[in-house]
Chain A
Amino acid sequence: MASKPRIKVPKSASAGEVITIKTLISHEMESGQRKDKDGNPIPRKIINKFTCTFEGQTVFECDLDPAISANPYFEFNAKVPASGTFKFTWLDDDGSVYEAEAPIEVK
């Protein structure tokens, strides 16, 4: 079942403030190291890259290996110069791209 990614970004911040962002996405993160009931290897299928940008500029990126737990969770910081929108992208081994956005108002 493909659910929407879960994102937590403060609604507002002051200019230059460092804020905390949390993201959680539904994914099995099949490691490629397991076998099924019949002993056949289960092929690897993980999210291999996560990116957060703010108005086109990279804020944080992560290259993921199969040792990341199912339903990958990230918490990281961002410094916001002005109001704008964060974009989040998760890349799947199978080529799928999952995306989400969250606006922030800088007062």
Chain B
Amino acid sequence: MKLTRRNVLGLTAGAAAFAVAGARVTPALASAEDAEKMIMEFTGGATPGEGKVSLNTPEIAENGNTVPVSVSVESAMEGDDLVESVIIFADGNPSPAVATFHFTEMSGEALATTRIRLAKTQNVIAVAKMKDGSVFMDKKQVKVTIGGCGG
């Protein structure tokens, strides 16, 4: 490679990127395949259907350290029409697992909000497991920017 100014700049940027990655103990970021594998573990091999579950995330996170995430599932939350659990993944984090919510009839509605860490722009995935064993999924991309000032 000929060392042009552009190449040098590129190298510097690359080195900076590696320096950031090097600050982590786990060098390799999780891939979408890892998340896929974990979804299958959760569903027992069933491919999740569409609908029922909806994930609410900001399109652009102001800071990846604290991203609000809400999930809700259409359900009567009575008898057999019950959501048992919802698992949340982030497919670009060092480890895709984020949280698992467990609901009961006492929950009234299958709805939960929390705040999560996202290492970079990636998909947040919610998979809901119903009492009858059926599974549903929603996926949203969240763009993560570099945080700025605090005024």
Contacts and interface: CB of A to CB of B under 8 A. Distances in A.
Are A and B in contact, CB atoms below 8 Å, in the complex?
yes
B103 A60 contact: yes
B97 interface: yes
A36 to B, nearest CB: 11
Contacts of B101: 60-62, 76
A55 to B, nearest CB: 10
B107 A60 contact: yes
A97 interface: no
A94 to B, nearest CB: 19
A58 B77 CA distance: 14
Nearest to B24: A33
A67 to B, nearest CB: 4
A63 B70 CA distance: 15
Query: In this complex, which of B104, B106, B107, B117 has the most chain A Cβ atoms within 10 angstroms of its Cβ?
Result: B106
Determine chain A's interface SS by DSSP, over half rule: strand
A69 to B, nearest CB: 4
B111 interface: yes
B19 interface: no
Given A31-B117, A33-B24, A76-B113, A68 B104 contact: no
A66 B66 CA distance: 12
B100 interface: yes
A68 B98 contact: yes
Most A CB atoms within 10 A — which of B66, B90, B114, B116? B114
Interface residues of B, number: 34
A9 interface: no
A72 B105 CA distance: 24
Interface string B17-57: 00000011110000000000000000000000000000000
Contacts of B70: 75
A34 B99 contact: no
B99 A35 contact: no
23 contacts: A18-B108, A33-B24, A33-B94, A34-B23, A57-B106, A60-B104, A60-B106, A62-B102, A63-B100, A63-B102, A66-B117, A67-B90, A67-B95, A67-B116, A69-B67, A69-B114, A70-B65, A72-B114, A73-B114, A75-B70, A77-B108, A78-B107, A79-B106
A-B complex: 10 closest residue pairs judged by Cβ atoms: A79-B108, A18-B108, A75-B113, A61-B102, A69-B115, A65-B97, A63-B100, A67-B98, A59-B106, A77-B109
